[in-house]
Amino acid sequence: MRIPIRLLGTLVAVITVFGVGLQSAYADSGKITLKVYKAGWIIGGSGGSGTLTFHGRTYRLGVGGIDYGLVFGGSKSVLHGRVSHIRRASDVEGVYGAAGAGLAVGRGTRAIVLTNQKGAILELSGRQTGLMANVDLSGLALTIK
């Protein structure tokens, strides 16, 4: 018996979509808050803390990172948002990379979307205060304390 190529292609597409949907069905999301202090001159560093609320439990987070490029000044950011595509709290741990540019003089707003190697997606927004100018590559590492 020979299956027409279009029917076979449609069957493969349906199975693929169903498989991706099934994989996403097992992923969950949580709420996250980060307080990040950043300073630098050419090479910058960042550090701070935060919390993850996932399945009714709150986890303390450690934040650290490094920036390289045109970095000048210092700032404090308080970011709130959501982490998605995680199955357990430990999936939020890892290194999140970004390339970006920004300018903060006094008080401003900030929004960012980051992904780690486990597929966790951070969608954050909040306030940034300080004097900071940057055009850089940056890495942010999150750990559960």
pLDDT in tens, 67-107: 877 788 888 989 999 999 999 999 999 999 776 666 667 78
CATH number at residue 119: 2.40.128
Confidence of residue 29 (pLDDT cuts 50, 70, 90): very high
3-state secondary structure the chain: CCCCHHHHHHHHHHHHHHHHHHHHHHCEEEEEEEEEEEEEEEEEEEEEEEEEEECCEEEEEEEEEEEEEEEEEEEEEEEEEEEEEECCHHHHCEEEEEEEEEEEEEEEEEEEEEECCCCCEEEEEEEEEEEEEEEEEEEEEEEEC
pLDDT of amino acid 15: 57
Give a yes or no: residue 111 inside a domain: yes
Residue 42 resides in a domain: yes
What is the number of domains present in the chain? 1
Domain that holds residue 33: 28-144
Residue 125 lies in a domain: yes
Report pTM.
0.75
Most confident region among 6-10, 44-48, 53-57, 128-132 by mean pLDDT: 53-57
58 lies in some domain: yes
108 located within any domain: yes
